[in-house]
Amino acid sequence: MSQRQHLPADERRERTVETVVALCGEEDPATLTTGRIASRMGVTQGALFRHFPNKEAIWEAVVAWVAERVMARVGAAAEGAEDPLQALEAMFLAHVAFIAEHPGVPRLLMGQLQQPCPTPASRMVKGLLATYRQRLAGWLEEGQRRGQLRPGLDLDAAAAQFIGCLQGLVLQALIDGDVAGIVDRGPAAFDLYRHGIQADRGGEA
Amino acid sequence: MSQRQHLPADERRERTVETVVALCGEEDPATLTTGRIASRMGVTQGALFRHFPNKEAIWEAVVAWVAERVMARVGAAAEGAEDPLQALEAMFLAHVAFIAEHPGVPRLLMGQLQQPCPTPASRMVKGLLATYRQRLAGWLEEGQRRGQLRPGLDLDAAAAQFIGCLQGLVLQALIDGDVAGIVDRGPAAFDLYRHGIQADRGGEA
DNA sequence: AAAGATAGTAATTGATTACTATCTAGCATG
DNA sequence: CATGCTAGATAGTAATCAATTACTATCTTT
């Protein structure tokens, strides 16, 4: 048996990361073992440690992978928008689509944040969320400058609740086990968010 | 050493649950061990199994404890309200206060939801969230009947995002490690939510 | 085709896990 | 003050974890 699947190191690392992301969609990241990662990859457990010095290094690579992808997707979505509110909506829907493709991502990031003493990976998550919030804050400020947002809006809270809305969708998906459904529910969720931040206007659909 | 601290069984069970809730505020519930629970209680690990048949039973008791407390607190808060929007606000702030007192609760519930195959405890969490959403839905419907909410509001999404707002606060607290701060940020967060659901009105503060 | 580098296996390590069997101290009753 | 029962201590168990070892198959380069 065993046609070995010799892969170059960087490709094996890439596959490892993808496998971890996929597995996080099925179980609690905290209970994920190197053995299960390896068996899913069709490789023995010890083989992982040829490409990563330890388990924590795997988490670092995974978080870096997620950070890069999510920021790229969300950034690209915002690019085509004509005004801040449209940009925020595009970001929101892009993020929802990303989560639908990778349902493990929210748990993964959440799991890292629950680490009591900060690890390299958990620091990366905090960094990701910090830059994410900064980007949101930029659009929100621009929207306020253009008068699109209601006066007196707490921009800090608005940025925090943008992510909160996403979490709400994820939670709902966890409850009724319907991951794909968040794509359908995404627009309504953002609608709610938009009404929360946008200035009152006379006539709208 | 070791003056034994003989407690009646039901009191020991109560202390166990409280200890688990407290520990969930400090570390990932998934990594919580019976040994750490016991040592925090000043008791040996084996002693726990005199009061609980297994670890899962501890989780069941913990979830039941949380469910009872949170529903009581939120229900009592809503009781004094004069209209649905006030009721929702009171529920929100009561929930925020409860989380501030027990920072481990969100992780605890989240952790149970991440269990892939449903356990008794995870079923209880889903049940808790289901009744919670029903209660929210009741107030939202009443609010819509009274014309307090904007027409065309997606009540389902509104109920989901109520919890999402709470999650947003929790996430923010996790990021900058400031658990107590969510009490201060609570009102602004609900303000945002209220603007998202409430009917436009001419003049308001 | 030979040889060194690379990527894998198989087996094992010590630490840690949930859980249990046996023994002992403390309490309430007569 | 003696007796029974309860709550906890002590000291285990088998299983599982991350990590390491010695060895082997495969790829690449010349």
Query: For position A80, what pLDDT does the model report?
Result: 92
Report chain A residues whose CB lies below 8 A from the CB of B27: 114-116
Q: Search chain B and give the residue with CA nearest A24.
A: B114
Min Cα–Cα distance to chain A from B146, Å: 19
Min Cα–Cα distance to chain A from B167, Å: 6
Query: For position B2, what pLDDT does the model report?
Result: 43
Report chain B residues whose CB lies below 8 A from the CB of A107: 114
Spatial separation of the C-alpha atoms in residues B146 and A158, rounded to whole Å: 28
Min Cα–Cα distance to chain A from B33, Å: 12
CA angle B195-B151-A152, nearest 5°? 15
Residue-wise DSSP of A66-90: HHHHHHHHHHHHHHT-SSHHHHHHH
Min Cα–Cα distance to chain A from B12, Å: 27
Contact A171, B132 (CB under 8 A): no
Interface of A with B in 22-41 (CB under 8 A): 26-31
More confident residue, B67 or A179: B67
B188 in contact with A, Cβ within 8 Å? yes
| Minimum CA–C1' distance nucleotide for B9 | D7
Spatial separation of the C-alpha atoms in residues B163 and A169, rounded to whole Å: 9
Q: CB–CB of A160 and B167 under 8 A? A: no
In the Cβ-directed half-sphere of A41, how many Cα atoms lie within 13 Å? 27
Cα separation values, A22 from A37, A54, A106, Å: 10, 20, 12
Position B1 pLDDT exceeds 50: no
Render pLDDT for A118-177 as a digit per residue (tens, 0 to 9).
999 999 999 999 999 999 999 999 999 999 999 999 999 999 999 999 999 999 998 888
Interface of B with A in 101-130 (CB under 8 A): 107, 110-111, 113-116, 126, 129-130
Q: How confident is the model at residue B198 (pLDDT cuts 50, 70, 90)?
A: very high
Helix orientation angle between A181-197 and A84-101, rounded to the nearest 10 degrees = 150
Strands (E), B68-122: none
Q: Give chain B's mean pLDDT.
A: 93
Low-confidence winner among B40-49, B168-177, B194-203 (lowest mean pLDDT): B194-203
Q: Which residue is nearest to nucleotide D24 (CA to C1')?
A: A4
Residue with tokens 């905290």: A30
Position A6 pLDDT exceeds 60: yes
Contact B189, B163 (CB under 8 A): no
Cβ-based contacts under 8 A for chains A and B: 139
Query: For position A175, what pLDDT does the model report?
Result: 85
Instruction: Using CB atoms, pick whichever of B158, B166, B189 lies closest to residue A192.
Output: B158
> Which numeric CATH code is attached to B55-197?
1.10.357.10
Residue with tokens 């969609």: A25
CA angle A184-A187-A189, nearest 5°? 100
Render pLDDT for B78-91 as a digit per residue (tens, 0 to 9).
999 999 999 999 99
Ordered by start, the domain boundaries in chain A are 54-197
Please choose, from the candidates B163, B6, B145, the residue with its C-alpha nearest in 3D space to the C-alpha of residue B96. B163
Other C-beta atoms within 10 Å of B100: how many? Answer: 18
Q: Identify protein residues whose C-beta is within 7 angstroms of any atom in strand C.
A: A 2, 4-9, 12, 42-47, 50-51; B 3-4, 6, 32-36, 45-46, 49, 53-56
More confident residue, B194 or B1: B194
Q: How confident is the model at residue B203 (pLDDT cuts 50, 70, 90)?
A: very low
Within residues 37-96 of protein chain B, the ones with CB less than 7 A from nucleic strand D are: 42-47, 50-51
Query: For position A2, what pLDDT does the model report?
Result: 37
Q: What's chain B's length in residues?
A: 205
Query: For position B75, what pLDDT does the model report?
Result: 98
In the Cβ-directed half-sphere of A80, how many Cα atoms lie within 13 Å? 8
CATH H-level, domain A54-197: superfamily:
Tetracycline Repressor, domain 2 (1.10.357.10)
DSSP A119: P
Q: How confident is the model at residue B17 (pLDDT cuts 50, 70, 90)?
A: very high
Give residue A11's identity as a one-letter amino acid code.
E
Position A4 pLDDT exceeds 70: no
Render pLDDT for B4-13 as a digit per residue (tens, 0 to 9).
678 999 999 9
Spatial separation of the C-alpha atoms in residues A85 and A91, rounded to whole Å: 10
Q: How confident is the model at residue A94 (pLDDT cuts 50, 70, 90)?
A: very high
Please choose, from the candidates A136, A137, A143, the residue with its C-alpha nearest in 3D space to the C-alpha of residue A74. A136
B184 in contact with A, Cβ within 8 Å? no
